[in-house]
Chains A and B, each alone.
Chain A
Amino acid sequence: MELFFMTLTTGIMVGGIYALVALGWVLIYKCSGVLNLAMGELTLFGAYVTIYFYAMGVPFVVSILFTLVIGIILGILVERIFLDKLIGEPILAVIMVTVGLSFFFKGLIEFIWGTDTRVFTPAIFSLKPFTVGFLKISTVYFWSFVLAIVLFLVFVAFFKYTRWGLSMQATADDETAALSLGVSARFVYAASWAIAFMAAGVGGALLGNINGVNISIGYLGLLVLPAVVLGGLNSVPGAVVGGITIGVLQNFAGTYLDAFFPGGVKEIFPFAFMAVFLLFMPYGFWGWVKIERM
């Protein structure tokens, strides 16, 4: 029973990080209808940028801030250089460009930082787990979860309460009507990519903090795809539920199924689950079905 609850809490906490990355995904999909398949590499990029600054002696929180800033810049650059010219082209073309971007980023990262696994030294959080009741909770997981959720809430508040956030939602709903009010779609796209880069970057930094930074973080970033599909591609609350569900499922698969299917079932299980899930709920839990007044 203890194992069960341990797996559950670990799952929830990793799921929090997935939720943050999923938010980036949802934002881009919501605002421009593009499924960004480069998300995994963005996560990876964030992890490397953070560890790069941290290794130079910059405090962890400040490194995260740097990662956020670099995320904004990169997001806007990518949007301006690659995607701006594709506005009005078929969505599939844009999705293919994001696949290209994912290769590009992966290559760039290997080129700059190599492929060795790096760890945050000195370790940021104490390696000793703390105990709540009978549960042992890893300090790293706990703080990563807290940080991910806080950032998630900040992004959601931005989206919900600022005029920029509202303009983004408006564009997602009806681009032409938003344009008629002077809301620039180009600005909205750039902003959504900037936020996606920030969310993915911090997500990557947190994941790297747990497992060490190497190319495999990119695959963890891609695990967010089932999370997003589960919650509904354009639903922000769906990102949280999807992220945590996938985190939990993944850890349960690792704990209980690994004995039967040794090696890698942890990574595959979320995708298998997604495939089956889509048969029954193609919009996910909260995906938009168009509002139709009778």
Chain B
Amino acid sequence: MGAAETILNINNIEVKYHEVILVLKGVSIEVPRGGIVALLGANGAGKSTTLKSISGLLKVEVGEVTDGAIEFEGVMIHKKTAVEIAKMGIIQVIEGRRVFEHLTVEENLKVGAHLRKTGSVKDGLELVYHYFPRLREKRSETAGFVSGGEQQMTVVGRALMTEPKLVLLDEPSMGLAPMLIHEIFNILMRLNKEEKISILLVEQNVKLALNVAPYAYVMETGRIVMDDVSEKLKENEDIKDFYLGLSEKGKTKSFAEVKHYKRRKRWLT
């Protein structure tokens, strides 16, 4: 992955829920400081679980990292609590736009400021409104009633308020109109460049993710089955086939011809 310094290093972790259900079977991921890395895969592949094991939210769901290690800036974090991890600067933006419905947009942002060490809450709010001007207009509206895009902006802004070093984004495009997705991803890329926030992005929209992140991992049933720079992944026949929906000739393929289980099998060996 080049010479860039690593901020997050996941080394061969195994995760179990309720001590018996094995969900991740040896996942290794590296995120460079200031970089964007995408984590791709179908439903149930274990992408969200991977993010939760980093942020410590796994413990809420009675899950545990039973093997391997997660290292953030040289410190082992997989035994720490979610609060300790958040304080170290890793913030997960949970899937599904979980705003605090009964608070206003601005109050939502202020909850994010709860961990803030440097700078005032006001500076933080100004920064968020700088990147998300729409939120300034909606600041005093109840978050449960603003549009989906604005809710997504609110949760990302809320994470920004904590002054994070690494943001774990879980499907920020889910259920949003293409225009809005475009807008939000542009802002995310600016945040990455201008605020030097490293991002680990989980996305089902593979085309979009490969355009945004220079490097990506592909997950399937609890394992990383492939990882490479995005340019190469875009050219990969399997990726084209399974995720981008293109056949070799560049036509939309017929699902009747798919025999993908055989080829997937090959990845796993």
Task: Give residues in A with beta carbon < 8 Å to B.
Answer: 163, 166-167, 169-170, 172-184, 288, 290-291, 293
Contact = CB atoms under 8 A, between A and B. Distances in A.
A181 B115 contact: yes
A180 B167 CA distance: 11
A120 to B, nearest CB: 41
Interface in B29-77: 55, 57, 60
B86 interface: yes
Contacts of B188: none
Contact of B162 (A167, A173, A182, A291): A182
Which 5 residue pairs are nearest across A and B when measured between Cβ atoms? Answer: A182-B86, A291-B144, A173-B100, A177-B98, A170-B111
B92 interface: yes
Q: Is the interface of A mostly helix, strand, loop or mixed?
A: helix
B162 A181 contact: yes
Contacts of B55: 180
Contacts of B92: 180
B57 A176 contact: yes
B244 interface: no
Contacts of B101: 173-174, 290-291
Interface stretch (B18-26, B102-110, B214-222): B102-110
A167, A169, A179 — most chain B CB neighbours (10 Å)? A179
Contacts of A184: 83
A79 to B, nearest CB: 17
Contact of B103 (A169, A175, A182, A183): A169
B85 to A, nearest CB: 8
Contacts of B162: 181-182
Interface of B: 55, 57, 60, 82-83, 86-87, 91-94, 98-103, 107-108, 110-115, 121, 142, 144-145, 148, 155, 158-159, 162
28 contacts: A166-B103, A166-B111, A167-B111, A173-B101, A173-B102, A173-B103, A174-B101, A176-B57, A176-B60, A176-B98, A177-B100, A178-B111, A179-B86, A180-B57, A180-B86, A180-B91, A180-B93, A180-B94, A181-B115, A181-B158, A182-B83, A182-B86, A182-B87, A182-B91, A183-B111, A288-B102, A290-B101, A291-B142
Given A163-B121, A181-B115, 7 more contacts: A163-B113, A173-B100, A177-B94, A180-B57, A181-B111, A181-B112, A291-B101
B202 to A, nearest CB: 14
Contacts of B87: 182
Given A163-B113, A181-B114, A170 B103 contact: yes
A179 B81 CA distance: 10
With most chain B CB atoms within 10 A of its CB, the pick from A176, A181, A288 is A181
Contact of B100 (A169, A182, A290, A293): A169
B70 to A, nearest CB: 16
B142 to A, nearest CB: 8
A157 to B, nearest CB: 14
A288 B121 CA distance: 29
